[in-house]
């Protein structure tokens, strides 16, 4: 799989941070040399913003990067990081900061996701998506809603590529029982979940009400894993204040442990599919 701009930016930012820390230079000091805010440099080092080649020229001197080959690799990464992903055409409707998640999702090798309110966008039917968007984006025009729906279903193509990511999805039981869009739409969505649960790269589990308290009471989250070992896992939370990304080892490890406990508490994939089938039949 070709490496896209989002992962390129993360790799470059990680290397720049390593070089800075190796020289024991504070982020604020480097930002002053570049003439940018410390927050801007932080976004570059975390891969959330592209890097100007003019910045690299200054950084090479500050960090003592003299090897021509090393410099060229970093310059190439910076240029690649400026490329637009396919999702850029939806910038007019993309929620602030969500483009980063779409880029990471498009290049992930594995996705571990826990949802509490709605079916994850990767497994939503078109009708279910429309029903969700109409409620969540009340002020949007029909055209904007249509573009948001197109974006969501364009994302689903990641599961159809030759090397699709492994998706492990845990849905709270409330997701299956909350009727969104009416009986017909909900039945179609439940039937689609049953079908998707049979795909070789998808594992679906339901966390039943009977499981009681669990380690993810704080809400839904996703853990994204990447093909290269040097590309650290990322944890994603959605919130009213915007997306939250966590990459520190301890944070990712804590969320991974929480997900493992959720898997242990959830119904087996077979029993989960049976529950979805039974609920779909009740909507006939």
Query: How much is the average pLDDT of 144-162?
Result: 95
Q: How confident is the model at residue 129 (pLDDT cuts 50, 70, 90)?
A: very high
Task: Tell me the Cα Rg of the chain.
Answer: 21
Mean pLDDT of the chain: 92
Q: Give the span between the Cα atoms of 139 and 52, in whole angstroms.
A: 37
Q: 114 - beta bridge partners?
A: 170, 221
Q: How confident is the model at residue 252 (pLDDT cuts 50, 70, 90)?
A: very high
Q: What is the distance, to the nearest Å, from the Cα of residue 65 to the centroid of all Cα atoms in its chain?
A: 33
pLDDT digits (tens, 9 = 90+) for 182-237: 999 999 999 999 999 999 999 999 999 999 999 999 899 999 998 877 788 999 99
Query: How much is the average pLDDT of 163-174?
Result: 96
Question: Among residues 195, 157, 172, which one has the least CA distance to residue 119?
Answer: 172
Question: Percent of the chain having pLDDT more than 90?
Answer: 68
Question: Among residues 246, 7, 1, which one has the least CA distance to residue 104?
Answer: 7
Angle, helix 53-63 to helix 5-22, in steps of 10 degrees: 30
Q: How confident is the model at residue 145 (pLDDT cuts 50, 70, 90)?
A: very high
Start and end residues for every CATH 3.30.870 domain found in the chain: 90-282
In the prediction, which pLDDT does 281 show?
Answer: 96
CA–CA distances in Å: residue 110 to residues 4, 34, 116, 175, 223: 16, 36, 20, 22, 8
The fold adopted by the segment(s) 5-81 is 434 Repressor (Amino-terminal Domain) (1.10.260)
In the prediction, which pLDDT does 2 show?
Answer: 53
The fold adopted by the segment(s) 90-282 is Endonuclease; Chain A (3.30.870)
């Amino acid at each position: 799989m070709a490496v896209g701009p989002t992962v390129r930016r993360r790799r470059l930012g990680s290397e720049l941070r390593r070089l800075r820390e190796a020289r024991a230079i504070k982020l604020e000091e480097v930002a002053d040399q570049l003439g940018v805010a410390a927050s801007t440099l932080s976004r570059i080092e975390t891969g959330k913003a592209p890097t100007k080649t003019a910045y690299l020229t200054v950084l090479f001197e500050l960090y003592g990067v003299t090897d021509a080959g090393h410099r060229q690799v970093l310059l190439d990464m910076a240029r690649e990081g400026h490329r637009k992903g396919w999702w850029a055409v939806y910038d007019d409707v993309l929620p602030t900061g969500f483009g980063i998640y779409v880029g990471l999702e498009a290049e992930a090798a594995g996705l571990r996701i826990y949802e509490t309110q709605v079916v994850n966008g990767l497994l939503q039917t078109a009708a279910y998506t429309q029903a969700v968007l109409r409620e969540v984006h009340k002020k949007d025009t029909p055209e904007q809603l249509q573009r948001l729906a197109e974006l969501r279903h364009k994302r689903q193509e990641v599961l159809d590529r030759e090397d699709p990511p492994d998706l492990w999805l845990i849905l709270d039981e409330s997701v299956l029982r909350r009727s969104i869009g009416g009986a017909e739409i909900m039945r179609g969505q439940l039937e689609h979940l049953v079908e998707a649960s049979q795909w070789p790269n998808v594992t679906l589990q339901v966390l039943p009400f009977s499981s009681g308290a669990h380690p993810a009471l704080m809400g839904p989250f996703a853990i994204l894993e990447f093909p290269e070992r040097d590309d650290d896992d990322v944890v994603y939370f959605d919130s009213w204040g915007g997306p939250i990304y966590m990459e520190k080892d301890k944070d990712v490890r804590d969320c991974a442990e929480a997900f493992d406990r959720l898997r242990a508490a959830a119904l087996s994939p077979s029993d989960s599919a049976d529950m979805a089938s039974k609920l779909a039949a009740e909507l006939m």
